[in-house]
Chain A
Amino acid sequence: ETGVTQTPRHLVMGMTNKKSLKCEQHLGHNAMYWYKQSAKKPLELMFVYSLEERVENNSVPSRFSPECPNSSHLFLHLHTLQPEDSALYLCASSQDQGAGANVLTFGAGSRLTVL
């Protein structure tokens, strides 16, 4: 148990579907993150929330829509995705965000395949 739980672990969707990824952390952390992990590429930071406020959005297409209803939960809403969006989506949390060495605790990821 990593303390960060992601569901579903695997998702296959068509380009016209709407789905959501869910992340829950049980660590009392104040910051939560969405990352995209593609094979043989560096992790790409998508969104950062600190104390439930979005603090960073790294030029992510609008077909990805994050939601952070409270400090323990983070969602990534998906709609009209493209095949190139197929990847592993990792959620992470840290005690704080910003200046300092913030150690990330990751979930196991949601493997997304877009047909």
Chain B
Amino acid sequence: GQNIDQPTEMTATEGAIVQINCTYQTSGFNGLFWYQQHAGEAPTFLSYNVLDGLEEKGRFSSFLSRSKGYSYLLLKELQMKDSASYLCAVIDSNYQLIWGAGTKLIIKP
């Protein structure tokens, strides 16, 4: 079967750095997405990785290692507004999108 694993919940402090991990076992790989979802709101696109390495976008960076079936989302200089769920999703060999259950990130002052 296909599986995406993410921690259910993480807590971090305002101003700090947090890394949210995602490991996947899928039939093939055609890319990986990260989405952010604030409570009661729509998920919004954060990043897309298809090649190994780090993609940086402001305070957010996403890393991919295809050989390890592993990605992480790195959030720097955390702000209270970063409290949200972060969803990892992988495109498999059939171009189906396989989703993780999401990681709820709680930011404390």
Interface on A for B, CB 8 Å cutoff? 2, 4, 40-43, 45, 90, 98-101, 103-109
Structural contact, B42 and A108, CB atoms closer than 8 A: yes
Structural contact, A100 and B101, CB atoms closer than 8 A: no
User: In the assembly, what is the distance between CA of A43 and CA of B33, in Å?
Assistant: 13
* Contact bitstring B22-34, A, C-beta under 8 A = 1, else 0: 0000000011010
Label chain A's interface by main secondary structure.
Answer: loop
The interface size of chain B toward A, counting residues with CB under 8 Å, comes to 25
Besides the known contacts A43-B99, A45-B97, A108-B42, 19 further A-B residue pairs in the complex with CB atoms under 8 A apart:
A4-B42, A40-B8, A40-B102, A42-B99, A42-B102, A43-B87, A43-B89, A98-B95, A99-B95, A101-B30, A101-B50, A101-B91, A103-B45, A103-B48, A104-B43, A106-B42, A106-B43, A107-B42, A108-B41
The minimal Cβ–Cβ distance linking B87 to chain A, given in whole angstroms, is 7
In-complex Cβ contact of A101 among B31, B43, B96 (8 A): B31
In-complex Cβ contact of A42 among B8, B41, B101 (8 A): B101
Structural contact, A106 and B48, CB atoms closer than 8 A: no
User: In the assembly, what is the distance between CA of A72 and CA of B100, in Å?
Assistant: 28
Number of A-B contacts (CB under 8 A): 47
The minimal Cβ–Cβ distance linking B91 to chain A, given in whole angstroms, is 7
Q: Which of B57-109 contact A (CB under 8 A)?
A: 87, 89, 91, 95-102
> What A residues does B41 contact at CB under 8 A?
108
User: In the assembly, what is the distance between CA of A98 and CA of B91, in Å?
Assistant: 10
5 A–B contacts from the bound complex (CB under 8 Å): A2-B44, A90-B43, A104-B97, A106-B43, A108-B40
Closest to A101 in B: B31
User: In the assembly, what is the distance between CA of A107 and CA of B8, in Å?
Assistant: 23
Structural contact, B101 and A41, CB atoms closer than 8 A: yes
User: In the assembly, what is the distance between CA of A45 and CA of B4, in Å?
Assistant: 15
> What A residues does B40 contact at CB under 8 A?
108
> What A residues does B89 contact at CB under 8 A?
43
> What A residues does B48 contact at CB under 8 A?
101, 103
Looking at B40, B48, B97, B100, the one whose CB has the most chain A CB atoms below 10 A away is B97
